[in-house]
Amino acid sequence: MDWHERLDDICRGHGLDADRCAQLGRLLELVERDDTAPTTVQAPAEAVDIHVADSLAALELDGVRAARSIADVGAGAGFPGLPLAIALPSADTVLVESAARKCAFLERAIQAAGVSNARVACARVEEWPQRDLDLVCIRAVAPLAVLVEYAAPLLRVGGRLVAWKGRRDDDEERGGAEAAAKLGMTPEGGVAVKPFAAAEHRNLYLYLKASETPDGYPRRPGMARKRPLSG
């Protein structure tokens, strides 16, 4: 099966029509040909699974398909944010990224794939002023305690964080729960996913914003990593 056939298979599995599938294909083609793409996985035969299938796995979680405002924090090469924006055309999706070089690539990716409902915010997440979002997505950026602190101030009450992670870690999960308790967030558990045949130890963590985030958050840039709220 070549990557075009694999992409068609992924699209069918998530109920995406031919136009959405074509957008995802253009995104993969840009990642392959653009030397500045901020990912080591550029060949479409690999990226179709590692980037696209992995990103779209979140569509199976509570609250994701219903989201009308989404932020992908630490967007990098645009995954999971751009595939989710393509799959959810009625959702206003913002790719939050602090590195100017990555922001420039994201702008090209939005244009190449024709994603009219996505835009780039070139900013540190702690300094980005957006609030009351339905969904925050974060893929492989930092420990759960840090991700919860990044997401909590951005979400409306009732909104959710989805965090992409690998192998489950009891200490990290405990840290995420401790940070969540201080920020008005409630852990809803880790969901094991297998978005492609070779995927191993893939988990999506879901947190619900149950109450308003206390005053004082977000803390200044860097503090969430330097002094995490866990422990």
Q: Which phi and psi angles does 176 have, rounded to 5°?
A: -60, -40
**Average pLDDT of span 168-186:** 97
Average pLDDT, rounded, for the chain: 96
- Over residues 160-170, the mean pLDDT reads 96
Which of helix, strand or coil describes residue 165?
Answer: strand
Q: How far apart are CA 183 and CA 152, in angstroms?
A: 6
Per-residue pLDDT at 19 exceeds 90: yes
Check residue 131 and give its pLDDT. Answer: 97
Specify the pLDDT at position 179.
Answer: 97
pLDDT band at 140 (very low <50, low <70, confident <90, very high): confident
On the question of pLDDT at 53 being above 70, the answer is yes
pLDDT band for position 141 (50/70/90)?
confident
**Structural domain 56-226, CATH architecture:** 3-Layer(aba) Sandwich (3.40)
Chain position carrying tokens 């995490």: 228
| Token pair listed for 79 | 């995954």
pLDDT computed for residue 62 by the predictor: 81
Mean pLDDT for 164-170 is: 95
Assess whether pLDDT exceeds 80 at residue 6.
yes
Please check whether residue 201 is in contact with residue 121, taking contact to mean a CB–CB distance below 8 angstroms. Answer: no
pLDDT exceeds cutoff 80 at 220: yes
Query: Does the pLDDT of residue 125 top 90, yes or no?
Result: yes
Give yes or no for residue 229 having a pLDDT over 80: yes
DSSP strand pairing (133-139 vs 155-165): parallel
Instruction: Round to whole Å and give the CA distance between 35 and 110.
Output: 16
Q: pLDDT confidence of 231, banded at 50, 70, 90?
A: low
Where do the structural domains in the chain lie, given as residue ranges?
A: 56-226
What single string gives the DSSP state of each residue in 84-114? HHHH-TTSEEEEEE--HHHHHHHHHHHHHHT
> Any idea which residue has 């999960």 for tokens?
173
Question: What is the mean pLDDT of the segment spanning 197-221?
Answer: 96
